[in-house]
Amino acid sequence: MTESLRWVKSSYSNNGGTCVEWAPDHASATGLVPVRDSKRPTGPVLLVSTNAFAGLIALARSTDA
């Protein structure tokens, strides 16, 4: 699955090397958002609903990290 996806690094990943990537094309097509650690591209992928992903983004925007 991960080889055929176009991964995009999160804009929130610039804090000390914490790199989160997601696959927006897959999310648009299926309603499921793949999320992974960019430092482990062959590692596990978390799949969340678009609503859950929107909640994660809202949380990231609201914290002072």
Phi, psi dihedral angles at 32 (to 5 degrees): -115, 135
Write down the mean pLDDT value for the chain.
Answer: 86
Question: pLDDT band for position 10 (50/70/90)?
Answer: confident
Q: Is the pLDDT of residue 12 over 70?
A: no
Question: pLDDT band for position 64 (50/70/90)?
Answer: low
% of the chain at pLDDT higher than 90: 54
